[in-house]
Amino acid sequence: MNDYLLKENILDSQTVIQLRSLVGWDSLSEATLTKALANSIFFASIWHQGHAVAMGRIVGDGYQYFYLQDMIVDPAHQKLGLCQRITEHLVSKVKDVAEPGAFFGLMAAENVADVYQKYGFVKRPTNMPGMVMPIN
């Protein structure tokens, strides 16, 4: 693991587009992605031999609402604990600045939701489901 380096600098949009493609996520325009990334509260990436192979970020207002977002690990580098390193780093950053009562959430696919429980995230009760509004 010594050859994997965690950095806090925001990745450029082309690198994020490549990472998104590697995991089968939808493509976004460079312009949109550049704006979105610039508005991250915290950002973490992991580099291996000069290439970004994993990333994650925190979005929200930086005071009351925080969301863990865009956790991506290149499939060639999965199962090495990289997601764990990024998650632990970002959770620590949020805990350093969040006031008591702040909301810290995430949206996770059903098959990975349990992974985040070890960091303190809990599933919302069925009477308080999350919702999403697609913007077309």
Q: Summarize pLDDT for 85-129 with one digit per residue, the tens.
A: 999 999 999 999 998 888 898 887 777 878 888 888 887 777 776
Q: Which among 5, 2, 6 is positioned nearest to 90, based on CA atoms?
A: 6
Mean pLDDT, rounded, for 62-68: 92
What pLDDT shows up at residue 132? 56
Q: What is the pTM of this model?
A: 0.89
pLDDT at 99: 86
- DSSP helix/strand/coil, 114: helix
Q: How far apart are the C-alpha atoms of 68 and 42, rounded to whole Å?
A: 9
Q: Identify which of 30, 4, 29, 26 has the alpha carbon closest to the alpha carbon of residue 86.
A: 4
Percentage of the residues of the chain whose pLDDT score is greater than 90: 68
**pLDDT for residue 101:** 87
- Give the integer Cα–Cα distance in Å for 15 and 79: 21
pLDDT value at residue 113? 77
Domain range list for the chain = 4-119
**What's the topology of domain 4-119?**
Aminopeptidase (3.40.630)
Q: Are strands 65-73 and 103-106 parallel, antiparallel or unpaired?
A: parallel
pLDDT at residue 135 in the model: 47
Q: What's the whole-number average pLDDT of the chain?
A: 90
Please tell me the predicted confidence (pLDDT) of residue 1: 66
CA distance 95 to 76: 31
